Amino acid sequence: MKATMCCDLHDYLEIACMCKIQVSLVLTNGRYFKGSPITTTINDEKEECLLFLPDSSDEQVSIPLYLLEKMEAVTHNIHFDTFVFTESY
């Protein structure tokens, strides 16, 4: 079973979604995305995911939360600049 993300980590994702903060994401598998987080959801495999709209596509992608390594704000905001998820589980 995959590790569950702590509530305070969810807060950063929810802030990015609600405030429409454009971010860049680095995943633990080496993939990189830049775009807009939409919401958190559960996929068909029952994994917590971030629904994300990459700048390079018109199609949303579902990113399992356990794959998040780092989120960096592209849009200036008062809430966060960079957040490292793997240090916070």
Report the pLDDT value the prediction gives residue 88, as an integer from 0 to 100.
Answer: 53
Run means of pLDDT, 10 residues per run, the chain, 89 residues? 64 93 96 96 93 95 94 95 76
Task: Supply 42's token pair.
Answer: 């559960």
Report the pLDDT value the prediction gives residue 77, as an integer from 0 to 100.
Answer: 95
Query: Is residue 89, in this structure, part of any structural domain at all?
Result: no
Report the pLDDT value the prediction gives residue 10, as an integer from 0 to 100.
Answer: 80
Report the pLDDT value the prediction gives residue 85, as an integer from 0 to 100.
Answer: 85
Residue 42, SS3?
A: strand
Query: Is residue 4, in this structure, part of any structural domain at all?
Result: no
Report the pLDDT value the prediction gives residue 15, as an integer from 0 to 100.
Answer: 94
Task: Supply 35's token pair.
Answer: 């775009």
Which CATH number does the domain housing residue 70 bear? 2.30.30.100
Domain with 33, as residue range(s), is 9-84
Report the pLDDT value the prediction gives residue 1, as an integer from 0 to 100.
Answer: 45
Q: CA-CA distance, 89 to 5, in Å (whole number)?
A: 6
